[in-house]
Structure formats: C-alpha cells, structure tokens
Structure 1
Amino acid sequence: MIKKILKSYDYTLIFSVFLLCVFGLVMVYSSSMISAVTRFNSDSAYFFNKQLIFVCIGAVAFLIAAVIPYRILLTKKLLKSIMFISVGLLLILFVYGHTAGNAKSWIKIAGFTMQPAEFVKLSVIIYLAAVYEKKQAYINNFKKAVMPPLFFTTIICGLIVIQPDLGTAMIIALIMMTMVFSSGMNWKSIIGLALLALLFLALISPLILLNSDRFITEERVSRFEGFTDPFGTEKDAGYHLANSLYAIGSGGITGLGLGNSVQKYGYLPESHTDFIMSIVAEELGIFGVLFVLSLLGVLIFKGFYIARKCEDAFGTLLAIGISSMIAIQAGINLGGMTGLIPITGVTLPFISYGGSSMLVLMISAGLLVNVSMFTNYREGYKSDAEKSVSKKREQNIQKPVQNKM
C-alpha cells in the first residue's frame, strides 16, 4: 500500500514547486542585497535569510499538506475553525494592525510581520470547495446554495478592501468567480449572479463616491497616471513602471548576468517584492523569464488537469481554486510590471519576497499534490481491480476446457 501511495505522487509537480522556491531564494538575494545595506542598514543577506526561514517552514507545511488526506478539511469543526480564525484575524487588524504602504494589513509577531489576507485566500478556496460539494444536489437553488457562500465571501472581501488592500480583494473575487463558474451551476444561475453583481456595484457606487477621499486616493490616481504614461511621469507617478521597463529592456535575450542588475541600486525600490521579475529579466534575460513562466505554467496546467481527473467535487474545486489563485496572482504581477495593467502591489508566486505569501503558497501546493496523489491512487486501484476481474474471467473460461481434456 505504501509503495502504491509513493508511486501515486506527482514528482514533476513537487520538483517544480521546490525548483521555483530555490530560484526565488537566489533572486531574492540578488535583488535585495543592495537595498538591505543602503535602506535597512543591514547585512546583504538580510532578506535572503528571512525568506529562507519561511521556505523551510513552508517545506514542512507542504509535506504535511501533501500527506494528510485532503478530505479531512471537510470536517465541520475544522472547517468552521479555519473560517472563524480567518475572519478573526481580519477584524484584529482594526485594533492591532501594522500600517505599511498606506494599508493596515499586517500583524507584527516577534519581529516578523504576518499578512492575514494571504491566509484568507486559501481559507476562502477551502470554504467554497466544501460548501459547493455539500450543495451539489441543489446547486442552482439561489436561496440555499448560491447566495449564502457568496454573501459570506463578499463580506470577507469588504473587510480586506477597508484595510485598504484592493489587490488581494480583487484576487479573492476572481478566485470566487472561477470556482462559482466551475461549481456545476447552470448558465441561468451564472447569468443571474452576474446581474446581481452589477446591481450590487450600482448600489455601492454612491457610497464609494461619498467616501472618495478613502477609496479614490491620490496614490491610486497616480498609479493610473503612471500606467497610462510611465515615461511622461517618470519622476513621480510613473517612476516604478518606467524603471521596471528599463530593467526589462536592458536585459535583452541573455541578460546582464546574475547579480549585475543596475536597477536594484535604488532605482527600483520594490526590486525584491512586486518587481522581482523585472530584475530576473534584467539579469537573466528572456531565458530567465521563460524559465520562471515554464515552471509556473507546469503548476497551473497540472492543477487544472488534476481537477479534471478528480472524481469528487471537493477535490476538483480545491484544485481549481488553488490553480486559479496561482494563475491570477502571477497574471496580475506580470501585468503590472510590464505596464499591461495598473500596478496593484501583488507579488509573484514562489519568487517574490514575503513570508505570509510563501507559507500560503506552499500549503496550497501541498494540497494540490495531495489531491493529485489520491486521484492517481484511486485510478491505480481501479486498474488493479479491473485486471483482477479480467484474470478471473480468463480462468473461468479455461476451466471447462481443462476438464474436457
């Protein structure tokens, strides 16, 4: 049995995750070494050492998530605890939250900062997957199946928007939309939800306008100005994007060489977080970029493939939620650093510096591997059972022939 379980693990998926983590550690060191010394008056390996700690903790969390059967998450008490803690952490931010980057999104614990919204992303995925599996028999019933989980998720998004952290709220909303679309609802229910969403936006628009000083801040307006004309506003609103594009352009095909970035010398302040891919492009060129995109592509593709193969609704929706989270987060980060969309402050999965993000991604990847293993194990068990039945049939056919002889 143990041998069959070990054979059922997707080692390509596991290898891709850890290769991304190792590459991310190398790039965190390369992109942050100057900033650590000049801005934080610390050792050049300051950010690398902190990220290494979270990668090691994340590796342990990954192994636990990959081994313990994923359906244990359907336990009522555990599911309620996950959601209660998630909402509780978001509420604690209003009292003990630490402000950074104009957002009260962090909690300081023993010298480390934790971002609850990162953990909430995974909690929402688990919650929606569990709820929609339970409600499969009446999935199109608006009152019982459609509205309650979406109403709860909307409240969570609202708590994150208030921080304000629009980037994370947008990711959760997009994950929710993907999971709803994949939940088994018919088109009539989906169109009905879309109309309700438009009505909701129309109702809250006056509230946003009345509180425009909070939601439509000068910083957010400047992000759009920088997005539309980065080089025309290079000294203020377009500073980050312009320098990101300089980094990408100077890297060319082969790059300037690992550690040889110019933009990390104070020109690109968030070089180890939001704009780490710009440094990858500058130092390693198009080949470095393709390497990262290929590994992320393997994770995302395999995640959706696992979802298609999985026979239970919870495993399917869990795989879809995790895969879409990685894809959406990567898409928003890459879109921001290339100027395709306004900058939102979203990090690149497994590559950017960030302890909370790394832990959540490693647990998520572990759950994805877990779903894959159990799916492969069930397929192997069915295959063995079919072979056994086929063998017995052959023996039964041969017996009368042997008796006649």
Structure 2
Amino acid sequence: MKQYLKRYAQNFDYPLFFTVLLLSLFGLIMIYSSSIMVAIAIKGKAPDYYYHKQVINLTVAFLGFLAAAFFPYKHYANKKVMLILTAVLVVLFTWVKVAGNGDEAGIGSKSWISVPGFGNFQPSEYAKLFIILYFAAAFYRKGQKYTLEKLQPTEIFYPIFLWILVVAGVAFETDLGASIILCGIAVCVVAASGIPFKTFWKFLGVLGAFGGVIFGILWLFKGDMLTDNRMGRIKSYINPFNYESGSGHQVVNSYYAIGGGGLEGRGLGQSIQKLGYLPEPQTDFIMAIIMEELGIWGVLVVLGGLGFIVYKGFSIALRTKDPLARMIAAGIASWIGWQSFINLGGVTGLIPLTGVTLPFISYGGTSIIILSLAMGILMNVSMFEKIERRKTQS
C-alpha cells in the first residue's frame, strides 16, 4: 500500500490539482461577496450563509476528488461498475420525476430532489459524468470485441438509446442547458473513440435520427417545456432592453455590471448590481459580479483556469494510447468547455439564457461535488498516462 501511494504521489498532476483548487477558492471568495444581500434580504440569514454552505460543499467535494483520483479509471469499463452507476441514474431520475422540486417562477425548471441530510441534489449534473463514463466504457468494450475501425453504428444501439433517454429525461425537467451539454459531451467522446471518420458521420446520422424522433415527441409537449419564463428568454435574446422589466431583466443588469466594472473593476465587495438588481448573483450570473468588482483581472483568472483545465484534458487525451483513457479525458474536457461557454454566453448575451452554472465558481453543492469527482477521474487518467509513458521510455 505504501509503495502504491508513493507511485501515485510521484505521478500526481500538481498543475491540474492547484488549478482546480485555485478556481474553487476564488469561487468561494466571490460567492461570499456576491451573496451577502441575497442571504440577508431574501433568505433572512447571516451575511455568510452561502459562504458557509459552500465551504461544506467544498469539503465533501475534496473528499470525492481524492476517492476518484485513487480509484483506477479502468474499472469504469467493468460491467458491474457500470450497472451500479446506471442504477443510481435510474433512481435519481425516478426520484426527480416523482418528487422533484424547483422554482418554476424563477428558473422555469423542476430538476431538484431533496436528499435527507444532504440538501438539494440535481440529477442532471450526475447525468453529465455518467454519459462520459458510460459512452467511454461502451465504446471501449465494443472496440475490444470488434475493433473500433470496423465498428458500425448499429452495433452500439444500446448506448445511443440510453443517451436519448437521458437527454429526454433532462429535457422533460425543462433543463435545456444540461440537455445541450449532454449532446456535446456524447459527440466529443465518440469523436475521441478512434472510429473512422466515415463511421463517425454514420454514427451522427443514427444519433440524429433517434434524436429527431424523441424531440418530435417532446415538441408535442412543448407546453410543458416552453414555459412562459423560457419563452421570455427567447423573445428577449435579440434586444433584452425591450423586456427590461420582465424577461430581459437579468441580461440587462448583467450588462450594467460588466459595463460598470470596466477594465479595473469597482473593487472586491463593491458591486452595485448584487444589491437586489441581479437575481441570484451567486449562481448563474456570478461572472457578471466578478467583472464588475475585479474587472479584466478577475476575468483572466477565471478564463485562464478553465482554459487550462480544458487544455489539460485534451492534451492527456492526445498523449495516451489507451482508448478508454482518451475518451474519458476528452469527455471531461469537453464538458468543462461546453458548460463554460454556455454560461458565459448567457451572461454576455451571446446566446439565450439557459440557467447553467459556471464550473468551480458558481454556488452549488451538486455542481462542485460532481465536477470534483470528474477532476479526480481526470487526475487518475493523467497519473496512469504518466506511469505508462515512463515505462515505454525506460
């Protein structure tokens, strides 16, 4: 055991670890700064209410990171492990369907479940990590049986079908942001699997056909999915100032925060928009508060850290010779990339709002815990890649 831990310590990816740690601590500071008014005026709690809750979330997340970092990633290809992960997904989706909750007037989404002793949990966050591991394991096993070069889309019917069910389940929760991320993740994992280019396009065709059928069914229930809140976001996308008192309120005040911060920012804790103008500034719109208080320097810290994690994930995927490791690393990197783009795009008005949090920065227990598990898995992949590389060099 001692020798095992020593080998891991020698190959520990310290740049990746400290980048995640820096972002998480930076996010903790900004959560405290941005949530003071919300905690006092809306929750009737102490000013550091959200700060203390996030400290607990980070503690649990750190333990999850360590557990995932020292759990060999190759075990995720084991059928029993995947069966357990699938069973957890089914339980969570059934739970949220039967007893889910959400602020329909605020976020237009019913996607949370109350876990006794834990608090709120969002199954769609778990679904993101599950799709990465399930697709990677499925393609890895199929590749060992048929070789990926000869793999046909019809031979991976079950992974495609399960993916469609997961996306449909998340979409029925009206969590469209997570649905988009799940689509991007699946495509990136398959692209990293090593299948030929022509087969990849055939796969996209099959995926599109299944997706078209499912979303055709979803369209029949558009009254449930396209809530007034969500329709308002779409209408206010082109010119939110026309809907400043309604659906465009968040984006307009995000613009005020960004413009008010300028290059240098107003100073840490000096945001104006967090004083009741920008709803829930500690979650989806925390980047607007960062821009207002810290200016370009705060933006560079966040974008630099997230960019490095995405770069690290894809560089690991390119270096490793193990298809399973390559797909997992590429899937995690694409997840961080897609989610960051969707969040920042919504804050800046580049794309319509979807209610997606900013990785490692926004307040949220489910998000930081699941992301930390993913980072632990990526750390494990990185360590094994280093070990294998040293073996080939010696």
TM-score by length of 2: 0.93
| Contact kept? 1:59, 1:362, Cα under 8 Å | yes
DSSP 3-state at the match of 2:242: coil
- 1:188 corresponds in structure 2 to 198
Cα distance in 2, alignment partners of residues 308 and 98 from structure 1: 41
Equivalence map 1:223-302=2 (5 Å): 223-302=233-312
| Cα shift at 1:176 | 0.5
- Give the alignment partner of residue 10 of structure 2, picking from 7, 12, 15: 7
| Contact kept? 2:77, 2:140, Cα under 8 Å | no
Cα distance in 2, alignment partners of residues 198 and 133 from structure 1: 22
Cα distance in 2, alignment partners of residues 268 and 88 from structure 1: 35
Amino acid across the alignment from 1:33? I
- 2:225 corresponds in structure 1 to 215
- 1:61 corresponds in structure 2 to 64
- 2:83 corresponds in structure 1 to 80
Closer/same/farther in 2, CA of residues 38 and 16 from structure 1, 3 Å limit: same
| Cα shift at 1:253 | 0.9
TM-score by length of 1: 0.91
Cα distance in 2, alignment partners of residues 108 and 3 from structure 1: 40
| Contact kept? 2:124, 2:170, Cα under 8 Å | yes
| Cα shift at 1:110 | 3.1
- Give the alignment partner of residue 98 of structure 1, picking from 95, 98, 101: 101
- 1:155 corresponds in structure 2 to 165
Bigger mean CA deviation after superposition, 258-267 or 7-16: 7-16
| Contact kept? 1:260, 1:283, Cα under 8 Å | yes
| Cα shift at 1:347 | 0.1
Cα distance in 1, alignment partners of residues 263 and 330 from structure 2: 34
Q: Deviations over 1:48-74 (max 9, x none)?
A: 111110101101111111122211222
| Cα shift at 1:125 | 0.7
- 1:174 corresponds in structure 2 to 184
| Cα shift at 1:31 | 0.4
DSSP 3-state at the match of 1:95: helix
Cα distance in 1, alignment partners of residues 220 and 325 from structure 2: 43
- Give the alignment partner of residue 115 of structure 1, picking from 122, 138, 152: 122
Cα distance in 1, alignment partners of residues 154 and 15 from structure 2: 42
| Cα shift at 1:215 | 2.4
Cα distance in 1, alignment partners of residues 218 and 244 from structure 2: 29
Amino acid across the alignment from 2:223? D
Q: Deviations over 1:242-285 (max 9, x none)?
A: 00011011111110000000000010002000000000000000
Q: Deviations over 1:150-184 (max 9, x none)?
A: 11111111111111211111111110011122222
DSSP 3-state at the match of 1:232: helix
| Cα shift at 1:205 | 5.9
| Cα shift at 1:203 | 4.2
| Cα shift at 1:196 | 3.6
Give 5+ residue unaligned stretches, structure 1. 385-405
Cα distance in 2, alignment partners of residues 311 and 82 from structure 1: 26
Bigger mean CA deviation after superposition, 220-229 or 348-357: 220-229
Amino acid across the alignment from 2:152? N
| Cα shift at 1:97 | 1.3
Q: Deviations over 1:212-262 (max 9, x none)?
A: 322233222210122111122211121000000110111111100000000
Cα distance in 2, alignment partners of residues 353 and 11 from structure 1: 25
DSSP 3-state at the match of 2:21: helix
- Give the alignment partner of residue 25 of structure 1, picking from 3, 25, 28: 28
Closer/same/farther in 2, CA of residues 332 and 118 from structure 1, 3 Å limit: same
* Alignment size in residue pairs: 383
Amino acid across the alignment from 2:54? Q
Cα distance in 2, alignment partners of residues 115 and 86 from structure 1: 11
| Cα shift at 1:98 | 1.8
Which structure has the larger Rg over C-alpha atoms?
A: 1
DSSP 3-state at the match of 1:108: strand
- 1:304 corresponds in structure 2 to 314
- Give the alignment partner of residue 124 of structure 1, picking from 128, 131, 136: 131
Equivalence map 1:32-43=2 (5 Å): 32-43=35-46
Cα distance in 2, alignment partners of residues 116 and 195 from structure 1: 28
| Cα shift at 1:382 | 2.5
| Cα shift at 1:75 | 2.4
